[in-house]
Structure 1
Amino acid sequence: MKKLIVVMMALMLGIVGSPPASAAGVKVTDRLSEAKLTFAYADSTGTRLLGFDQAHPKQYTQAIAAPGRSHPIQYGKHQKLSEKSNGRNNMYNFDNDEGEIYKVLKGKVSQDEAVVLATKDAFQGHTFLAYRSVKIKGLDKKTVQAIEKTKKRKVLKHWQIGEVPSEVQVGIIQFENVKGKKPLASFVLVTKNGVVFQDFEGNDDPDQYSVWRVDDGGEMDPSLFRIMFLTRSASGYAVGYEWYGSESNGLYVLQQKGKNLLEVEHSSRYIAPL
């Protein structure tokens, strides 16, 4: 009885049960924000980056390069578009392209590689996983059957392009065409709790010339996907990747919500041959 009275007095005085100072009035979340992320690409040396964000360039402190390596960066200056520019967003046009110049302070990234620029707290609550690419191969039969059941559509082709060993597989799916429906493909994460999807709805191109991307011939090509990072948090998984194309490279940051990968940030690099 005496112990109970002491505890009750402590609660009244705020000694017991008060929240930690770091949590008072602060909402901690692991949801990624487009306001804290953008993209950039490297020059031929891998020591300079050209960022796409014109609004708040000084806020970015790190570059996330494949396969999830973090490099500290320092903002330099805004670079204006040169009259010599050929309109491409690649290392050959780096000094003539418009954007924000950053210096890679430690290490370097691969030449011409796309990276994700992030603020100091952009990945709060996230653990970067040891992702590795693998020799492209098919997914297992059980996974394919689960995908077909979820999408109610037969799988035409399927590939595994990478993995975090014993935890998650990264794959590309192309579904069979169905009369009256648009072509469908998916970027997928195969996890212990099921498959998570980012769907690509294609164009109704009767000649199958450009269905999902310009000049794709109606075929998904798993070799054109390059993973920049893969993380795990309380919400599930998040992933960043570059999807190469004949005219432009798509850049994506996605985060899991239930069985879907939702777009957090998206951009592209124009790289069409001259």
Structure 2
Amino acid sequence: MPVENEKINPKLATYAIINNKMTPIIYSATKPESEASNGRQTSFNFSNNGGDFFIIKEKINEGDFALLVNQKFIDDNKFSPFKKTEKETCHQTKTTLSNKYNRHITKSLTIAELNNQDEINLTLFEVKNDSALAVLSYLHNNQIITLDFPAKYDEMSTWRVDDGGIFDFENLQVLSIFQSGKSIKIATVFWGAEGYNLNFYESTAGVFKSIAEAYGYSAPQ
């Protein structure tokens, strides 16, 4: 997913951010999708996919996602180291979120902890009539920055196609976190039954706004 002030020419990208770490890349070529392609944006179909291709000298894992950036992005954005976790959100934060949205909480987990004591929580609220809501929240210096995932409840497909009306916490993953001036930026992947959404968000006025996004079709293989 290319990023630099929302858009970047892939040919000008010089680094890939993978799992919150920077690795140099070299633009190789742009090629069309081959006739042998099955139309899936997966590692299994990589050689058949069309698009921009890069050389990465460092070893990466099959299926890793990357942000493509240039030197200006590296200069303007500071990496925020974090560790993934899965524990119940503290009572105070849950109370704050419940009051903010005026809803009872069904489930809430801390999914990432940063070295500076910041944390990211994922919260599922009760369904009101047919209104479903999940919220990713970033706790920073006693301020909560939120990213809402509202949806109309459907027992077959609510947030994602064929999700059975269930918000699976494991399907929303934080990939990278940055701080730029007073704003926080996060990269996420949100998996579904048929594919995945990659998003790059920036905080503004207490909420996260998407500044870059991409979609990959991945199923069935």
Q: TM-score range by the shorter chain?
A: over 0.9
Instruction: Tell whether 2:123 aligns with 1:176.
Output: no
Distance 1:165 1:258 in 2: 24
CA RMSD of aligned residues (A): 1.5
Out of 199, 202, 227, the position equivalent to 2:148 is 199
What's the CA shift string for 1:195-250, capped at 9, x where partnerless?
A: 11111111242xx2110011222222222233221112222311001112211111
2:34 aligns with 82
Determine if contact 2:80/2:115 at 8 Å carries over to the other structure: no
Determine if contact 1:64/1:228 at 8 Å carries over to the other structure: no
What's the CA shift string for 1:91-139, capped at 9, x where partnerless?
A: 111111111110013x2221111111112212443210111112x1110
What is the total number of aligned residue pairs between the two structures?
218
Q: CA deviation at 1:166?
A: 4.2
1:27 aligns with none
Larger Cα-atom Rg: 1
1:132 aligns with 83
Determine if contact 1:139/1:171 at 8 Å carries over to the other structure: yes
1:212 aligns with 159
Structure 1 regions of 5+ residues with no counterpart? 1-31, 37-55
Out of 162, 176, 181, the position equivalent to 1:234 is 181
Determine if contact 1:238/1:255 at 8 Å carries over to the other structure: yes
Instruction: Tell whether 2:25 aligns with 1:61.
Output: no
Determine if contact 1:226/1:242 at 8 Å carries over to the other structure: yes
User: TM-score, normalising length from structure 2?
Assistant: 0.93
Determine if contact 1:161/1:222 at 8 Å carries over to the other structure: no
1:248-263, aligned counterparts within 5 Å? Answer: 248-263=195-210
Q: CA deviation at 1:63?
A: 0.4
Partner AA of 2:98 in structure 1: E
Instruction: Tell whether 2:27 aligns with 1:35.
Output: no
Partner AA of 1:57 in structure 2: P
Partner AA of 2:175 in structure 1: M
Identity %: 24
Determine if contact 2:12/2:70 at 8 Å carries over to the other structure: yes
Determine if contact 1:158/1:174 at 8 Å carries over to the other structure: yes
What's the CA shift string for 1:43-75, capped at 9, x where partnerless?
A: xxxxxxxxxxxxx32111110011x10010000
SS at match of 1:150: helix
SS at match of 1:250: strand
Distance 2:6 2:195 in 1: 21
Instruction: Tell whether 2:101 aligns with 1:151.
Output: yes
Distance 2:74 2:47 in 1: 30
SS at match of 1:103: strand
2:64 aligns with 113
Partner AA of 2:172 in structure 1: F
Partner AA of 1:81 in structure 2: E
Distance 1:142 1:131 in 2: 22
2:45 aligns with 93
Partner AA of 1:256 in structure 2: S
Q: CA deviation at 1:262?
A: 0.7
Q: Which runs of 4+ in 1 moved over 3 A?
A: none
Determine if contact 2:153/2:165 at 8 Å carries over to the other structure: no
